[in-house]
Amino acid sequence: MSERKKVLLVRLSAMGDVIFTIPLANALTDNGYEVTWLVSEKGYSLVKNNPCVDKVILAPIEKWKKSHNPIKNFLEYISLIKLIRKEKFDIALDTQLILKSLFWMLFCGAKRRIVAKNYREFAILGGNEVIEATRTGYEPHAVKGYLKYAEHLGIEVNHIKVTLPETSDETKIKVDGLLARLDREKPFILVAPATTWATKHWNKDNWKELLARLKDDYNLVLTGTDRDTELLSYIDNGYINLAGKTNLEELQELLSRADLVISMDSGTTHLAWAVQRPKIVSIFCSTPESLYAPLGYQDRYISVSAKSVCEPCHRRKCPKGTNECTRYPSVDEVYGAVEKLLKGE
């Protein structure tokens, strides 16, 4: 490419989807495109200083949601649109494909504004070029779906490349302190039992039983946000409990030190995969493994699911009203996956 073409990548949130879009950004950057990423607060720290992009523009959507001044919000939005248009982008890619990405795409000024056929909420109106659906049903994996934008631009992707910003020395020192109680003779398992949807949560008594079976052979470290304190307190039995004590950069550093992560279909699972260091056992209740499970070999990543009881509905609210799938998979299945990855049993 004689002159670097400028690409605006519109992926505002959420944490997991931002991570799944990083391989697309790397494919573009590695093939000579100048990449600017438009992202909201939830994914900002994952993209800022990430070698997959040249520039980052923060769309403060969470701040606007909390604001009681819509006029001020609108003026800030107009200022950002003017900033974006000054960049004179050649191409804009919408991997969000919903209403909140539509207006950024529509007014960004890019010559080619590319959206995919599996759009929702009229997002197609933001584009002037439409590619095949990035997914049909529960196939392919989200990462491979987003890479269809690269393929549309003539880029052959032979390797899925994931990058993250480097963690600071200050963060490393803080994490040293958080893990001071670790028994260095035992493997370190980071446990992230919480996520956003109720239908994604594994039964809390299952967690309690699983950890009781693991505690003698492993260091167990629990992690989550402030809103997860009640759940983590329930399953805690003298483990290192970091609920509400870490930010995203610190979580990334914790994951880089763990031997194994046990978690749900959550941002923590996807970040663990992006870190490319720990082995992962991921538990799937209402959501499909085929879309979101860590990509890789079964000597590193095992996903266990409730699909033998209930096909994944991919819904926030159980259509049966029972949340039956959250009681599965069994504790034996998850425990067996952990033992297989750490002991080869």
Weakest mean pLDDT among 88-97, 121-130, 309-318:
309-318
* 158 vs 332: CA distance, rounded Å: 37
Q: Are 11 and 17 in contact (CB under 8 A)?
A: yes
Determine the 3-state secondary structure of 148 from DSSP: helix
Instruction: Provide mean pLDDT across the span 305-318.
Output: 88
pLDDT tens track for 126-173: 999 999 999 999 999 999 999 999 999 999 999 999 999 999 999 999
Least Cα distance to 164 among 47, 292, 8 occurs for: 47
* Structure tokens belonging to residue 299: 């000597």
- Asked whether the predicted pLDDT for residue 304 surpasses 70, the reply is yes
Listed residue (293, 312, 301) closest to 142, CA to CA: 293
- In the Cβ-directed half-sphere of 153, how many Cα atoms lie within 13 Å? 26
Alpha carbons 4 and 250: distance in angstroms, whole number: 35
Taking residues 264-280, report their average pLDDT: 97
Chain segment 217-253, per-residue pLDDT in tens: 999 999 999 999 999 999 999 999 999 999 999 999 9
Per-residue model confidence (pLDDT) at position 286: 94
Given a cut of 60, whether residue 2 has pLDDT beyond it is no
pLDDT of 132 reads: 96
Residue whose C-alpha is closest to residue 305's, from 317, 297, 314: 314
As to burial, measured by CB atoms within 10 angstroms (0-12 exposed, 13-18 middle, 19+ buried), residue 280 is: buried
Confirm if 242 and 178 have CB atoms less than 8 A apart: yes
The residues that bridge with 92 in the sheet, in sequence order, are 8, 113
Confidence of residue 292 (pLDDT cuts 50, 70, 90): very high
- What percentage of the chain reaches a pLDDT higher than 70? 99
Closest CA to 175 of 256, 105, 56, 273: 256
Which tens digits make up the pLDDT trace of 314-344?
999 999 999 999 999 999 999 999 999 998 8
How high does pLDDT run on average in the chain?
A: 95
Is the pLDDT reported for residue 255 higher than 70?
yes
Q: What pLDDT, on the 0 to 100 scale, is given for residue 345?
A: 64
Amino acid, single-letter form, for residue 109: G
- Tokens for 78? 């107009």
Q: What is the pLDDT of residues 111-129, one digit of tens each?
A: 999 999 999 999 999 999 9
More confident residue, 294 or 308: 294
Stretch 282-296: mean pLDDT? 95
Percent of the chain with pLDDT over 90: 94
Task: Tell me the C-alpha distance between 246 and 343, whole Å.
Answer: 29
> What are the structure tokens assigned to 65, written together?
């949601």
Pairing of the two strands 91-94 and 55-58: unpaired
Total-model pTM = 0.95
Q: Give residue 3's pLDDT.
A: 81
- pLDDT (tens digit per residue) in 177-202: 999 999 999 999 999 999 989 999 99
Ranges 82-96, 157-171, 296-310: which has the least confidence: 296-310
Q: Please, which residues have CB within 8 angstroms of residue 255's CB and are 6 or more apart in sequence?
A: 190, 261, 268, 271, 272, 275, 277, 278
User: Which one-letter DSSP state was computed for residue 39?
Assistant: E
Domains of the chain with bracketed CATH:
6-152 (3.40.50.2000), 169-343 (3.40.50.2000)
